[in-house]
Chains A and B, each alone.
Chain A
Amino acid sequence: MNKWKLLLPLFVCMLAVGCWNRVELNEIGIVSATGVDWKDGNWVLSYQVVIPQAISGMSGVGGGSAASVNVFSTKAEGFRAAISKASQETSRRLYFSHNQIVIVGQEAARKGMAPLFETYLRNHDARETVSVFLSKGSARHMLEQLIPLEKIPGAAIQRMITNEEINSSTYRQMTIHQVLLDLMGATKATGIPGLVVSGSRESMNRADKLSQTNTPSKVRLFDLGLISEDKLVGWISGEESQGVMWLKNHVKRAVIPFACTEEAKGQKSSSIRIIHAETKLRPEPSGGKWIMHVDAKAVGTLMEYNCGGDLSKPAQVEKAEKFIEAEITSIMQKGWKAVRKYRTDVVGFGNVIHKKYPKQWAEAKDNWTELFPQTTLKITVRVKLNSAGMSGSGFKSEQEKRRS
Chain B
Amino acid sequence: MQQIGKNQLSILIIVFLIGSTPLFELGIKAKHDAWLAMILAAAAGLLLTVMYVHLQRRAPEAELAELYKMHFGRWIGGGIGLLYAVWFAYESMRNVRDVGELTMMALLTLTPKWIVMLLIISAAAYTVSKGLEVFVRVVQLLFPIVAASYFFIILLLFIARLPDPQHLLPILENGLAPVVKAAFPDLLSFPFGQMVIFLVFWKHVSEKKIIGRASYWSMIGVSAFLVFMNMLVMCVLGPELSAITALPLLEVVQLIRLANFLERLDVVVTLLLFIGLYVKMTALYMASVFTLNSVTGIAYRYCVMPIGAVIYASSFLEPNNTYHIWIGLDITLKIVPLFQVVLPFLMLVVGVRKRYKTN
Contact = CB atoms under 8 A, between A and B. Distances in A.
Chain A directly contacts chain B within the complex, with at least one CB pair under 8 Å:
yes
Interface of A: 3, 6-7, 10, 13-14, 17, 20-21, 97, 121, 124, 127-129, 175, 177, 180-181, 184-185, 351, 354-356, 358
Interface string B153-195: 0000000000000100110010000000000000000000000
Given A10-B118, A13-B115, A121-B244, 17 more contacts: A3-B129, A14-B119, A17-B112, A20-B108, A127-B264, A128-B255, A129-B263, A175-B255, A177-B241, A181-B240, A181-B241, A184-B240, A185-B240, A351-B166, A355-B166, A355-B169, A355-B170
B109 interface: yes
B122 interface: yes
Contacts of A358: 170, 173
14 contacts: A6-B122, A10-B118, A14-B115, A17-B112, A17-B115, A20-B111, A21-B108, A21-B109, A121-B244, A129-B255, A129-B257, A181-B241, A355-B166, A355-B169
Contacts of B115: 13-14, 17
Interface in B239-254: 240-241, 244-245, 251, 254
Interface in B123-143: 126, 129
Given A10-B118, A124-B105, A354 B255 contact: no
Contacts of A3: 126, 129
B305 to A, nearest CB: 9
B238 A128 contact: no
Contacts of A10: 118-119, 122
A21 B110 contact: yes
A194 to B, nearest CB: 23
A20 B110 contact: yes
Given A21-B108, A21-B111, A128 B254 contact: yes
A75 B109 CA distance: 25
B342 interface: no
A149 B291 CA distance: 69
A358 B111 CA distance: 47
A13 B114 CA distance: 11
B106 interface: yes
B231 to A, nearest CB: 16
Given A20-B108, A20-B110, A358-B173, A184 B241 contact: yes
Nearest to B162: A177
Contact of B241 (A6, A129, A175, A180): A180
A184 B109 contact: no
Contacts of A7: 122
Nearest to A354: B170
Given A355-B169, A358-B170, A177 B255 contact: yes
A283 to B, nearest CB: 12
A118 to B, nearest CB: 10
Nearest to B266: A124
B264 A121 contact: no
Contacts of B122: 6-7, 10
A275 to B, nearest CB: 17
A354 B122 CA distance: 51
B242 to A, nearest CB: 10
The 9 A-B pairs of least Cβ separation, nearest first, read: A184-B240, A355-B169, A20-B110, A20-B111, A358-B170, A358-B173, A21-B108, A21-B110, A181-B238
A124 B106 contact: yes
Interface string B29-46: 000000000000000000
B248 to A, nearest CB: 12
A355 B167 CA distance: 9
A401 B108 CA distance: 77
B157 to A, nearest CB: 13
B106 to A, nearest CB: 6
Contacts of B112: 17, 20
B110 A185 contact: no
Contacts of A351: 166
Contacts of A354: 170
B251 A128 contact: yes
B266 to A, nearest CB: 8
B170 A356 contact: yes
Nearest to B168: A355
A356 B170 CA distance: 7
Contacts of B126: 3
A20 B126 CA distance: 26
A128 B126 CA distance: 39
Nearest to A351: B166
A172 to B, nearest CB: 14
Contacts of A128: 251, 254-255
Given A129-B257, A354-B170, A185 B238 contact: yes
Interface string B76-115: 0000000000000000000000000000011011111001
A121 B240 contact: no
Nearest to B164: A181
A129 B253 CA distance: 10
A32 B238 CA distance: 28
A97 B166 contact: no
A271 B314 CA distance: 72
A14 B116 CA distance: 10
A12 to B, nearest CB: 12
B281 to A, nearest CB: 17
Nearest to A356: B170
